[in-house]
């Protein structure tokens, strides 16, 4: 008999099925006993009445691997409208001990270190794993959206000789005795590939040796990167980002329906046109609300972003807000200036509910501009020689963006700490499991 997923049982009502999965919970009563069986997709209640099967199950630890053959019965008060009456119970693997946490509780309610130390087990909890189902859907939506717009997927090297942002906060790798770095982003390579395919995207790990121990930082995360040529300026990039985000949330709603129900959350709606303020206007809005004097300030503090998020919701009903034109001094050397106000940039941040979610913008594309920008930033051009080749030989106006997968998940699920939605997080104190 073919196995049936617990989430597909309604279609088999009245029939006999084979279930495979884990002993999620077992409650032995005097006349009849109830098993919760969990598989890779869901949980179902199984009624067990044979004395032999009850004895078998009662002797097992939680997380035993089992098979059940049984009949699917419609039961109005059951969680999925069905339950299974067991005919045969088979034990595939009897684990040697009890799990460190009770996975059958509605919420795990354990401290973060416990959650992370025991991730191989705690990730099995239906609510815990739901976020990673959404991650799967987010990646699938990102790729499908860009692929439908003629973008080509690339995988660029993570061991690199030059640091993207100029040398700070990089992890060093001993590469056959040579010092190299882990890539902080695919920035240089995705730009280079605009010269090849015009439109490229990448989903992959990035590494930041930032010594910050906050709820928003991990030191390795998944970056969803896009870059493309023949743009007018950063606004062309913002239009694409809006559409890609809408597609991603659409895929998350469709493919992640079960996960969203498990987490009891609704996804945000991306407006047809995301509201947008220039950095200087954003500062004026903040000054108007708080009285703070921000003149000369080159960046926004998290509290300011939060305030802008509230303003956008109040004034436009949007969870999203673009802030454009950040001062050049706070942006990386490859950032394109605003031709009309060259101390400001053709870059943007996208805030989601008052927190930065995406960074992007137009990049420099002329070789001479790169030489000048590197000189201005105090960098020697030699380590960037490979990168500079692309610009020496014709690069169109181009730009792109990077979405932090885990940051998106944290915002969407309401997780208070990004580690809760990072698969096996790496931070200042943690490299296991």
**Which of positions 196-215 make contact with a second copy (CB under 8 A)?**
196-199, 203-205, 207, 209, 211
Structure tokens at 126: 């239906």
Q: Does 250 sit near a second copy (CB under 8 A)?
A: no
In whole angstroms, what is the distance from residue 157 CA to residue 196 CA?
16
Q: Does 229 sit near a second copy (CB under 8 A)?
A: yes
Q: Does 129 sit near a second copy (CB under 8 A)?
A: yes
In whole angstroms, what is the distance from residue 420 CA to residue 127 CA?
11
Q: Are 82 and 72 in contact (CB under 8 A)?
A: yes
Structure tokens at 101: 């946490």
Based on CB atoms, which residue is closest to a second copy, 99 or 268? Answer: 99
Structure tokens at 36: 């919760």
Q: Does 193 sit near a second copy (CB under 8 A)?
A: yes
Q: Does 5 sit near a second copy (CB under 8 A)?
A: yes
Place of tokens 């010269």: 195
Q: How many helices (H) and strands (E) does the chain have?
A: 12, 18
Q: Does 176 sit near a second copy (CB under 8 A)?
A: yes
Q: What is the DSSP string of 331-380?
A: S-TTBPEETTEEEEESEEEEEETTEEEEEEEEE---HHHHHHHHHHTT--
Based on CB atoms, which residue is closest to a second copy, 71 or 198? Answer: 198
Place of tokens 């949007």: 318
Q: Do strands 43-48 and 82-93 pair parallel, antiparallel, or not at all (unpaired)?
A: parallel
Based on CB atoms, which residue is closest to a second copy, 96 or 291? Answer: 96
Site string for a second copy, 87-106 (x = CB under 8 A): -----xx-xxx-x-------
Among 70, 141, 195, 325, binds a second copy (CB under 8 A): 195
**Which of the stretches 43-51, 154-162, 233-241, 268-276 binds a second copy when contact is defined by CB under 8 A?**
154-162
Q: Does 175 sit near a second copy (CB under 8 A)?
A: yes
How many amino acids of this chain bind a second copy (CB under 8 A)? 98
Containing 187, the helix (H) or strand (E) segment is helix 187-197
Based on CB atoms, which residue is closest to a second copy, 184 or 324? Answer: 184
Site string for a second copy, 310-349 (x = CB under 8 A): ----------------------------------------
Q: Does 39 sit near a second copy (CB under 8 A)?
A: yes
In whole angstroms, what is the distance from residue 152 CA to residue 131 CA?
27
Based on CB atoms, which residue is closest to a second copy, 279 or 387? Answer: 387
């Amino acid at each position: 008999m073919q196995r049936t997923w617990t989430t597909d049982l309604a279609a088999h009502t009245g029939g006999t099925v084979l279930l495979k999965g884990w002993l999620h919970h077992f409650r032995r009563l005097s006349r009849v006993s109830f098993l919760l069986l969990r598989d890779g997709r869901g949980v179902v209640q199984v009624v067990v009445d044979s004395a032999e099967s009850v004895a078998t199950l009662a002797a097992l630890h939680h997380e035993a691997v089992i098979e059940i053959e049984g009949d699917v019965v419609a039961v109005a008060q059951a969680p999925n409208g069905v339950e299974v009456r067991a005919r045969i119970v088979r034990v595939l693997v009897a684990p040697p001990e009890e799990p460190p946490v009770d996975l059958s509780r509605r919420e795990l309610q354990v401290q973060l270190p416990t959650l992370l130390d025991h991730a191989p087990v705690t990730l099995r909890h239906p609510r815990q794993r739901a976020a990673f189902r959404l991650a799967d859907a987010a990646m699938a939506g990102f790729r499908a959206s860009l692929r439908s717009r003629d973008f080509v997927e690339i995988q660029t090297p993570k061991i690199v000789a030059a640091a993207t942002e100029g040398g700070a906060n990089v992890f060093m790798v001993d590469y056959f005795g040579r010092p190299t770095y882990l890539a902080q982003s695919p920035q240089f390579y995705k730009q280079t590939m605009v010269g090849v395919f015009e439109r490229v995207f990448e989903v992959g790990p990035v590494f930041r040796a930032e010594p910050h121990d906050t709820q928003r930082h991990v030191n390795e995360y998944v970056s969803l990167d896009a870059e493309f040529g023949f743009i007018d300026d950063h606004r062309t990039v913002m239009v694409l980002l809006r559409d890609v985000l809408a597609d991603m949330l659409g895929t998350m709603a469709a493919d992640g329906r079960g996960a969203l129900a498990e987490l009891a959350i609704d996804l945000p709606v991306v407006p047809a046109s995301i509201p947008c303020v220039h950095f200087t206007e954003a500062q004026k809005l903040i000054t108007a609300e708080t009285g703070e004097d921000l003149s000369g300030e080159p960046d926004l503090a998290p509290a300011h972003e939060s305030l802008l998020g509230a303003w956008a919701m109040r004034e436009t009903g949007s969870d999203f807000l673009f802030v454009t034109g950040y001062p050049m001094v706070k942006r990386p050397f490859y950032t394109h200036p605003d031709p009309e106000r060259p101390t400001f940039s053709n870059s943007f941040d996208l805030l989601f509910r008052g927190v930065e979610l995406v960074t992007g913008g137009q990049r420099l594309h002329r070789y001479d501009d790169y030489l000048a920008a590197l000189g201005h930033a105090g960098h020697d051009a030699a380590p960037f020689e490979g990168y500079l080749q692309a610009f020496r030989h014709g690069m169109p106006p181009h730009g792109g963006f990077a979405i932090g997968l885990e940051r998106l998940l944290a915002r969407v699920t309401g997780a208070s700490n990004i580690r809760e939605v990072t698969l096996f997080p790496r931070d200042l104190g943690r490299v296991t499991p």
